[in-house]
Amino acid sequence: MNELQYRVNLVVQVFQSALAVATGLVGLWLVFSQTDDLVGWGAPELLAVMGVHIAMGGVIQMVIEPNMAKLMDDVRRGTLDYVLTKPADSQALVSMREVRIWSFVDVVVGAIVLGVAVVNLERSVGWIDAAGFAAALLLGAIMIYCFWLILTTTAFRLVRVENILELFQGVYQAGRWPVAIYPFWLRTSLTFLVPLAFAITVPAESLTSRLTPGTFVLASSFTAALLIVTRIVWRVGLRYYSGASA
């Protein structure tokens, strides 16, 4: 019976992902019925962005958001103590204990869309581009993780989980398109405030042979900086938490 329930869940997930892809394709098609390219990005290239967007969204919903939601819940209920008394690094523990398996469907769907896009690209993808893509994806995912942990650690007291999740989901939609289309201030926010540019556009840039070494260096150093800041924020947050609950 359990197996059956899993199967129903899977079907529902696949169906929803399919609908989302269909909607995205309609959007793309509408745009390209009016113009040949968008800020220099052609149709298969925009499709690649969409693929990365969906896949990265799957990763976020699979391994990042569940942990953050649980963290907020633990702090609210005081059960974070159970984590803190374990003989492992607390930040690692709170970041890796939950997985939402069903979101893997989105990762697969995104990969398929990406595959279709890559096949249709004008310029084929070389080794360097592919390597850059993988590296950029990893860096981008780490940056999103840092963003989420910083946000959770600092904001949980003010706002509920659901609100932050909703807000993020809204903003995340901006990553559907290459950040170049956005006005300067928005572009900057989507790069350094909510690192969607690094998570989605930059990997897509690599795949479409647009990535400059400068951008890559920026991504790497920004990731390193974020990791350090995240660590500091986490330690401070812990001290505050222990102090508050004592």
Nearest to 147 by CA among 168, 131, 170, 118: 168
Where along the sequence are the contacts to other proteins (CB under 8 A)? 1, 3-4, 8, 12, 15-16, 19, 22-23, 26-27, 30-31, 33-35, 37-39, 158-160, 162-164, 166-171, 173-174, 176-177, 181-183, 186
CA torsion sign, 100 to 226 to 223 to 87? negative
The CB-of-188 to other proteins minimum distance in angstroms stands at 14
Q: Residue 38 forms beta bridges with which residues?
A: 41
- CB closer to other proteins, 173 vs 220: 173
How far apart, in Å, are the Cα atoms of 48 and each of 28, 35, 101, 128?
A: 11, 18, 24, 17
**Tokens matching residue 180:** 């170049």
**Tokens matching residue 78:** 């005081």
The CB-of-3 to other proteins minimum distance in angstroms stands at 6
- CB closer to other proteins, 37 vs 81: 37
Residue tagged 């249709």 (tokens): 120
The CB-of-163 to other proteins minimum distance in angstroms stands at 4
Q: Residue 41 forms beta bridges with which residues?
A: 38
DSSP type of residue 64 = I
The CB-of-51 to other proteins minimum distance in angstroms stands at 17
- CB closer to other proteins, 177 vs 241: 177
- CB closer to other proteins, 137 vs 164: 164
What are the two backbone dihedrals, phi and then psi, of residue 220, each rounded to the nearest 5 degrees?
-60, -50
- CB closer to other proteins, 61 vs 95: 61
The CB-of-167 to other proteins minimum distance in angstroms stands at 4
**Tokens matching residue 215:** 């951008």
